[in-house]
Chains A and B, each alone.
Chain A
Amino acid sequence: MSRVALVTGGSRGIGRAIAVELARTGHRVAINYARRPDAAEATAGLVTEAGGTAITIQADVGDDDDVAAMVETVITELGPVEVLVNNAGITRDGLLLRMSSADWDDVMSTNLRSLYLCSKSVLRAMVRARWGRIISIGSVSGIAGNPGQTNYAATKAGVIGFTKSLAKEVGSRGITVNAVAPGFVETELTAELGEETAAAAVNSIALGRLGRPAEVASLVGYLASDAAAYITGQAIVVDGGLAL
């Protein structure tokens, strides 16, 4: 069975690894991206190499019209979304005392409003099909907190509350809703931290290294599968033992 998956923010980093993993496990994958068509195409290339089918779609996941058009495109080209991975996320780090409203609002929109918009847009078909998977990428920041990330951490804690509530709403219809909370994973997002911060981070990780995107993606692949049918409303941490 080839199910349809939509991965938001699928052009780079963890999203790219998730797109490839879902292709490897037999999904047809829609890769959403915001600004980097070249990166999205590169991900689509990796999906094809993994033996899968991919399309790429530009959309601001915090924008009502963009999300409606994106989901419409997926339905037309691949079919109704059966697996939604809310992965798109941005950071606008800074101490709260110096944080602008724009930095707060941008992070809220891309990281949290997107969950409302994207999940709502695909849920109707899932309810009707009595099957669905909604997997959202949170962060250890949303559980343990992180200085300089009040905006980001608030959205990632929000991901967990959203996940638990929606899991209760739609569980009776065979739809599972889960969150995956990575710690420090080697991506462009963490590369911005600089070597000193990264080295300090590694010191507090039980496994003594940063995570790899594929190590987050494998859990997402599992949660998307039939094997994970009895897991819902969970926020599963993949952090190498950082937040212990």
Chain B
Amino acid sequence: MERVEIESKLVDLLVEELGIERDNITMSAKFEEDLEVDSLGVVELLMALEDNFDVKIPDDEAEGITTVGEAVDIVSTKING
């Protein structure tokens, strides 16, 4: 899957699942600081990513995700190896 495709899907999920303003989402935006997503929100996003992309993101890898771009990275790595 192309990276741009993953980006676009992930942005959709952030808008639909977490109610974030589309205009505020950039790849460098930090979930907790910039997008005001709480820690449970990050877990929700991870669950949504796992469901939508059919991947498994282990807890130790999930802990490293702080920005939107890093979430795209991990999904991209899981899908494309």
Interface residues of A (CB under 8 A from B): 124, 127-128, 169-170, 172-173
> How many A-B pairs with Cβ below 8 Å?
10
Contacts of B33-52 to chain A: CB distance below 8 A: 38, 40, 44, 47
Interface residues in B, total, Cβ within 8 A: 5
Chain A residue at minimum C-beta to C-beta distance from B44? A127
A124 to B17, CA, bound (A): 13
Contact A170 B40 (CB under 8 A): yes
Within 8 A of A (CB), among B47-70: 47
Residues A172 and B47 in contact, CB atoms below 8 Å apart:
no
| A-side contacts of B40, CB under 8 Å | 127, 169-170, 172-173
A171's nearest neighbour on chain B, judged by CB, is: B40
Residues in A whose Cβ lies below 8 Å from that of B47: 124
Please state if B38 and A172 are interface contacts (CB–CB under 8 Å). Answer: yes
Residues on B with beta carbons closer than 8 Å to the beta carbon of A127: 40, 44
Q: 10 A-B Cβ contacts within 8 A?
A: A124-B47, A127-B40, A127-B44, A128-B17, A128-B44, A169-B40, A170-B40, A172-B38, A172-B40, A173-B40
Q: Which 7 A-B pairs have the closest CB atoms?
A: A127-B44, A124-B47, A169-B40, A172-B38, A170-B40, A172-B40, A173-B40
